[in-house]
Amino acid sequence: MPSEKKKIYIVDDDESVCRALKTLLMTFDFDVTTFNSARSFFDAVPNDAPGCLVLDIHMPGLDGWAAQREILASGSKRPVIFISAEKQDNAAERALKVGAVGFLQKPFNGQTLVDLINVASDDTKGIAK
């Protein structure tokens, strides 16, 4: 019986980042859907849908921090991994304080992202499809 693929959502306003991460994660047999804005993610994915969210911090409109606040306010248990190209001294610490599984500074090692997703799936039952 085949195991179910882990569902991953990527939200980043840079389409090339979305494509690259989707390609990477699909090689690790994840089921990946990308979005160019947090609002489009919220509009398309029900709050209780299982999956891990890879979320860019700096985006026009609803940024990653505001999106995480909405996720927490909704009661969702969806694990979040923040990513960012902009260097911020306290971003990793802040990400963990707001409930994220982790923070990765772009560019990052693909295996590190996969490892974080796997940690999230071990800690949370809601990632499998």
Residue with tokens 């911090």: 57
Q: 120 pLDDT band (50/70/90 cuts)?
A: confident
* Type and span of the H or E element at 19: helix 15-27
Domain boundaries, the chain: 7-123
How far is it, in rounded angstroms, from Cα 5 to Cα 28? 10
Average pLDDT of the segment spanning 2-19? 91
Res 52 pLDDT > 50: yes
Instruction: Name the pTM for this structure.
Output: 0.90
Average pLDDT of the segment spanning 68-96? 91
What per-residue confidence (pLDDT) applies to 29? 95
CA proximity to 62, closest of 15, 12, 23, 111: 12
For 7-123, CATH number? 3.40.50.2300
Q: 127 pLDDT band (50/70/90 cuts)?
A: very low
